[in-house]
Chain A
């Protein structure tokens, strides 16, 4: 059964979309990640215009992060001070990202930039995770313990604030900068970026693992909301029908993914995820390096009616 997507302006099979939502939801539930980094490239692979895939992706992240954020909030695992610093930077970043996105779109280079961003992002994440999981396979017994007085150069920066929830006394600059970068990534790639933010918050700032997920979900929620609104206003590329179909699939898929994920070991999970991330990256690299069958493309200027 075909369904016409009003913003993407094409007909797609409804069951393909539902299946895609289910699959990405399942994987994100299984691995405990947002799934935006898989959803956007897969949407592009099935023929949704890259611009619409990204805009709709940001909107979809809102749906997928809200429930997790509420759950963590109930358990008191959200550091609101840290979260608000992150999303203040993020709001500026995502707004700037959307404006840049618009410029690149008009110059006809946005597809290339999205692909490049994804290739770099997926390669880095995939390789790091792959290395970590293979290392963990060999040295399973050795546990890396965080020292009580964990200090890096980050802790020497000025404008220090006290974060009671995170039991930290650090500068406000790194969270704002991290948020800003996440905002840019969100607008360019249609991802939440929890993937990058969580390790950065743990290793660079030294946040306790208990609050890091809830806090990053809060900032992801606000950043993706901002990015979605900005995309819908500047680029008109948020397809609510597409969001609804994918979100329904993703919500259901995530439930089963979580249950399935509990049966696997963390190391195996990380290895699998790394493999998947690298496969998507490989497909994108192939697309960039392979000579396209048609070198020419047409853009219709809507203004000249």
Chain B
């Protein structure tokens, strides 16, 4: 049965191979995804210098180079943002003379890292509504309090969150540069601090012309611990019981060896 079909197919291919091929291609395209069709004449092409950042025992920060080519005029915005997590913001208050954590607000879906680069000020490129939609700029990040909180408090806590993250180099308040090599080729350098959280990151590259989004490319990037320190962390967190006894055993050995080494002196 199958063989017969193949033979028929071959004969068909011989006679109308070109039309057949194009037809099959179209069927394929339609069946996969409508997005795929647009990919054929995508005006924006992006690649990054490395798809993975590995944090080992001597990691002291790095930078990622993003290359891009566009085949129509327009401006570029690049957003580098990292794993969204729920965060607890706590505020210290003076109680009985000492400063203690008092009020707290939980924020959902906060990126742990956020950096932005653009060829022009984003406010000049897009309407406020669009800036919010694509979360361009720290003030347009869309994260919400997990519980209902009074407006005034929410604003204060949110501002503080941005401030604390910025102070730790996890949010970048200044705009990174997009360097054009010629009209169509561009390059963006993103600095990665040494305290970058591990997880999956996304780099959104937006091509904008006349206040409208022409194209958007999303490039994934993974930050992970590597080598010995990664193994230790995993072991301590997923095999806590065994780790606990190894840690105990090691310190017993070190203490005992130390006393042996010095008894001879």
Contact = CB atoms under 8 A, between A and B. Distances in A.
Q: Is chain B found bound to chain A in the same assembly? A: yes
Contact of B86 (A4, A234, A301): A301
Contact of B87 (A6, A241, A298): A298
Contacts, number: 180
A296 interface: yes
B244 A233 contact: yes
B90 A236 contact: no
Interface stretch (B4-12, B159-167, B182-190): B159-167
A81 to B, nearest CB: 23
A108 B255 contact: no
A289 B244 contact: no
Contact of B233 (A3, A7, A62, A289): A7
A228 interface: yes
A219 interface: no
Interface stretch (B13-21, B31-39, B99-107): B99-107
Interface residues of A, number: 59
B90 A108 contact: yes
B248 A229 contact: yes
Interface string A6-43: 11011100000000000000000000000000000000
Contacts of A243: 247, 250-251, 254
B85 A11 contact: no
Contacts of B164: 294, 296-298
Nearest to A247: B254
Contact of B101 (A5, A6, A112, A301): A112
A234 B56 CA distance: 26
Given A296-B90, A296-B160, A298-B89, A251 B258 contact: yes
Contact of A6 (B112, B233, B240, B256): B233
B247 A240 contact: yes
Given A62-B252, A232-B244, A6 B89 contact: no
A62 B247 CA distance: 10
A298 B165 contact: yes
Nearest to B104: A108
Nearest to B253: A63
